[in-house]
Amino acid sequence: MRLFNNITSDAVSRSVKIVTGSNGANLYVSGDLGGGKLTSEVLMPDGETWIQTEVEEFISNPGLYVIESSSVIIRFRLSGSSNPNLTVWLMADGVENKRFVARGYSDPMDDDQEYEE
């Protein structure tokens, strides 16, 4: 699933669910992060609070990253960038689109909007 497609400014990706029992997920990061960092955040069970994960403190270079996790709703945030041109894919057997609205955060999941800027 493509999370970012040639983004050119700081952004937050759509949220996705990694399903329990999957063998982890591959995060493909390509292009230029523009000096910024890509972090992952998970949704707390309260359905409102996002926290940064410690799986990868942050990603500052293109490459393939493996995420090992149980069932979790996750999103990615590019911050501190200057003129990035970034594409990010998250691939695994146990990755699903996740539609929800948490307080203060809307995730429309339509084909025309793959991320928030």
Summarize pLDDT for 16-62 with one digit per residue, the tens: 888 756 567 889 999 999 999 999 999 999 989 999 986 556 888 99
pLDDT tens for 74-97 read 999 999 999 999 999 988 766 655
Rounded Cα distance between 6 and 70, Å, is: 29
Find out whether 105 and 50 touch, Cβ atoms under 8 Å: yes
Dig out the tokens for 75 from the structure.
Answer: 């999103």
In a domain, 37, yes or no: yes
Domain that includes residue 35, residue range = 2-95
Domain CATH for 69: 2.60.120
In a domain, 109, yes or no: no
Q: Indicate the pTM of the whole model.
A: 0.76
Find out whether 53 and 74 touch, Cβ atoms under 8 Å: yes
b/e map 38-50, b = 16+ CB within 10 Å? bbbbbbeeeeeeb
Number of domains in the chain: 1
Contacts of 41 (CB under 8 A, 6+ apart): 50, 51, 52, 53, 74, 75, 76, 77
